Amino acid sequence: MNANTATKAYAAVEIESGVHAADPHKLIAMLFQGALLAIANARNSILRKDISAKGAAVSKAIMIIGDGLQASLDKNVGGELAQNLDALYGFMCTRLLKANLENDIESLDEVARLLGELKGAWDSIRPTVMAQESTPMQPPMSNKQPALVYGRM
């Protein structure tokens, strides 16, 4: 086994272990991080003129956004916020397709910026969600709503 194969195997085990140990909030955060990493890889592949790597990275980002973030939205519970996120994720996937077809770095950067803002907002509610889960006798606070947007994990 060469060093590259060993490194990839280690990374796969580390990611799998992280997924199994993660709570639903952490899983969404991991999806955001994975999509951002895939977009960064696509951007670097365009700059290196590595078309096959770019295509693979964009496909991975689209899969994470569409089959991960978008598919896990609970539109019945999340209401208007979930509907808006659904539309935004659809827009992001469309922009990523454009980026792939046209080697468009600006589209990649736009999606990365949007995902970064969503990730920042998601990460910022973590302490609130954890505090509410640790005190079940306390009535639900109105700012818990974003955590309920994702429900199909």
pLDDT in tens, 132-153: 555 554 444 444 445 556 765 4
- Listed by start position, the domains of the chain span 26-130+138-149
Q: Are 117 and 60 in contact (CB under 8 A)?
A: no
In angstroms, the CA 96 to CA 5 distance is 29
- Helices (H), ranges, the chain: 3-21, 24-48, 51-63, 75-102, 105-124, 126-134, 145-149
What's the token pair of residue 36?
A: 């951002």
Q: What is the pLDDT of residues 16-43, one digit of tens each?
A: 545 555 688 889 999 999 999 999 999 9
pLDDT higher for 90 or 13? Answer: 90
Is the pTM value of this prediction over 0.85? Answer: no
- CATH class for domain 26-130+138-149? mainly alpha
